[in-house]
Amino acid sequence: MKRFIFQLISISIIPFAIILMIMSTADGNTDPFYVRFTTPKQQNMILGTSRAAQGLQPEVFDKILLRSINNFAFTIAHSPFGKVYFESIKRKHNQRRGGLFIIAVDPWSISSWCSSPNNLSLFRENKLCLNKTKIVNMNPNPFYILDNLSGKYKDLLFKSKSNMFLHKNGWLEIKDIKMDSISVLARTTDKIENYRNTYLPKIKPSLTRIQYLIKTISYLKDFGNVYLVRLPIDERMFEIEKDFMSDFDLKIREAINLSNGYLDMTPRNRFYKYTDGNHLHKDSGKKVSYIVANWIADKE
């Protein structure tokens, strides 16, 4: 009997070891989010949507502010302000005092795509990874893989070619992207049309999301300083945002007053390069990160 049990355990261990080995191959090439679910809990964090995920580079902040900071920003679909993002931030945060938090804000992150913009049960992020995966600091993270990569397990072994790479510090690098004027114009035109024709007709300001932005700042202020940043974008994208929410600063006034400072970089839109009108090119992202980091350093 003992021999049978031993053989059964041995047989079970082999496939488990193989599965674990396959999962261990997941890395920054797997998808734009996985690595953020594998790093330890963090004391210092960059938060927001894809503008922050691509535009704010932790390495720059580390050098200027002399502390390690993690980028825990996702996308307009995954991490608008709300209960899902708030709870995930709390799970990722290590609850140590003396932290630093940079929150990127824009009109889209305090708005909803649903018919009832304040109804939490209808929020777009409910069915996505931040809500599905409650464990955010395990490496490898089988919960993330099973919850979010269903049907794509072969990609763990056979990496698909992508121009995206997610660094361990959470920065999403866009690599090998054509930046000639024709390519940039094509991507920008497509992005602008998508926002104006797809997002703009259905999106609505959400008081609930604004309240969760305030709630997020209140929570984080118990553990350190919180700074708000509105990142620069292409002027054509900025025109859409003004059409949608010309009183953005007024809408988040309570959040601004609660924070330790607010830097609006949209007056400098024309000074930077964008991959698609919405996201900073990594060279411009480095410049913006230096500006934001030095601005914070003057306030610390």
Q: Within a domain: residue 230?
A: yes
Residue 14 has pLDDT above 50, yes or no: no
Smallest Cα–Cα separation from 30: which of 164, 175, 174?
Answer: 164
The top-scoring range by mean pLDDT among 29-43, 156-170, 175-189, 222-236 is 222-236
What is the reported pLDDT for 149? 78
Tell me if 229 is assigned to some domain: yes
Higher pLDDT, 11 or 213: 213
Residue 10 domain-assigned? no
Whole-prediction pTM: 0.91
Closest to 195 in 3D by CA, of 169, 233, 162, 221:
233
At 76, list the tokens: 């307009």
pLDDT at 64 over 70: yes
Residue 11 within any structural domain of the chain: no
| Percent share of the chain, pLDDT over 70 | 87
Predicted confidence (pLDDT) at residue 4 exceeds the cutoff of 50 = no
Confidence of residue 26 (pLDDT cuts 50, 70, 90): low
Angle at 115 between CA 118 and CA 203, to 5 degrees: 85
Is the pLDDT confidence value at 298 over 90?
A: yes
The reported pLDDT for the residue numbered 176 is 85
Does residue 2 fall inside a structural domain? Answer: no
Summarize the confidence of residues 258-286 as an average pLDDT.
Answer: 97
Residue 154 counted as domain residue: yes
Would you give the distance in Å from CA 265 to the centre of its chain? 19
13 belongs to a structural domain: no
Please compute Rg for the chain using Cα positions. Answer: 21
- CATH code at position 182: 3.40.50.1110
Do the domain assignments include residue 44? Answer: yes
Total domains in the fold of the chain: 1
Dump pLDDT digits (tens) for 117-158. Answer: 999 999 999 999 999 999 999 988 888 888 887 666 566 656
Is residue 11 pLDDT above 50, yes or no? no
Q: Give the residue numbers spanning the domain of 175.
A: 27-299
SS3 assignment for 46-93:
EECCHHHHHHCCHHHHHHHHCCCCEECCCCCCCCCCCHHHHHHHHHHE
Report which of residues 181 and 44 the model is more confident about.
44
